[in-house]
Amino acid sequence: MSEISEVIKCLIIGSGPAGYTAAIYAARADMHPVLYTGMEPGGQLTTTTEVDNFPGYPEGIDGPTMMLQLQAQAERFGTKVHIGMATKAEFSEEEGGIHKITIDGNKVIYAKTVIISTGATAKYLGLPSEQRLRGGGVSACAVCDGFFYRNQDVAIVGAGDTAAEEATYLSNICKSVTMLVRKDKMRASKAMQHKVANTPNLRVLYNTEVEEVLGGDVVEGLRMINNFTQETSEIAITGLFIAIGHKPNTDIFADQLTMDETGYLITDAKTAKTNLPGVFAAGDVQDKDYRQAITAAGSGCMAALDAERYLTMMES
């Protein structure tokens, strides 16, 4: 331990609603948090043009502005925010132990507590036209953005339970929903398949993939290809929702923190505690069910409170 020159009370890895909310609470508790933003400063909301479902914004707000405001609030109470990504984690397994985190491959941070809010990255199709129109009609969250396509024609890509759930959700607010399934059957549960089949304004196209998203600044349609017959076709839509899954940003924590089979961190029931003392997780990195800004913020609050209680217990 002789090489350690400084140990901070609270290190927050990742930004977004979870990280910044944790920083606000930690700073107000005199934990002097240091936050590193991660590879996408502000998290997934920085790719969202409108946020209408976060309490306190009656007129709505765009995602990047909201993240800047959260950052400013965290900094107001003394949080030190730095651009950088955690590239290695060496956690102590002992109560009161010191955790070692490497930033950008060269800067080493020692901390008594670590709050992980590295989020999850939505999986996209990888088409240039899709990436160009993200925020212009292409979305990976129907619950977040479906409202903006009320009474319009939309499409959704996916075959699992999440895709089926989002497709039926969209069917309640959109004029029509076209569901594109790459194979000749869905992966969703039988119950969800029955629900999709019994939704009048929802049609499913099997063996169908997106060849190109059509439109200049906004989505205007889809060019699709049937991967069985190789026939192409086009439909007019204003919104395209991608529901092929998310990948939690947890690779550097493998073999140290307990995860589920898909890589999401597992926390103790009703807490933000991981399996290691002094290490906490908040936001989409441990939440594969809700994935909303408000739930991420709430879990960020929980993580900071749990970290504060842990420090108090260690110092008593």
User: Per-residue pLDDT for 176 more than 70?
Assistant: yes
Burial call 63-98: b when 16+ CB within 10 Å, e when fewer: bbebbeebbeebbebebebeebbbeebebbeeeeee
Check residue 62 and give its pLDDT.
Answer: 85
Q: How many other CB atoms are there within 10 angstroms of residue 59's CB atom?
A: 5
Check residue 195 and give its pLDDT.
Answer: 93
Per-residue pLDDT, averaged over 115-129, amounts to: 94
One-character DSSP codes across 135-165:
TTTEES-HHHHGGGGTTSEEEEE--SHHHHH
Q: Do the Cβ atoms of 222 and 234 come closer than 8 Å?
A: yes
Residue 285 to residues 15, 31, 134, 220, Cα–Cα distance (Å): 12, 23, 22, 33
Q: Do the Cβ atoms of 258 and 250 come closer than 8 Å?
A: no
Residue 164 to residues 30, 59, 198, Cα–Cα distance (Å): 45, 30, 12
Alpha helices in the chain (DSSP H): 16-28, 63-76, 128-132, 142-145, 161-171, 190-197, 293-315
Q: What residue ranges define each of the domains in the chain, with the CATH number in brackets?
A: 8-121+246-315 (3.50.50.60), 124-242 (3.50.50.60)
pTM attached to this predicted model: 0.79
User: Per-residue pLDDT for 90 more than 80?
Assistant: yes
Distance between first and last Cα of the chain: 22
One-character DSSP codes across 281-293:
E-GGGS-SS---H
User: Per-residue pLDDT for 47 more than 70?
Assistant: no
User: Per-residue pLDDT for 236 more than 50?
Assistant: yes
Catalytic positions, written as ranges: 141, 144-145
- Residues 6 or more apart whose CB falls under 8 angstroms from that of 312 comprise none
Per-residue pLDDT, averaged over 160-168, amounts to: 90
CA-nearest of 162, 260, 27 to 179 is 162
One-character DSSP codes across 216-247:
SSS--EEEEEETTT--EEEEE-SEEEE-S-EE
Distance of CA 48 to the CA centre of its chain: 12
User: Per-residue pLDDT for 135 more than 70?
Assistant: yes
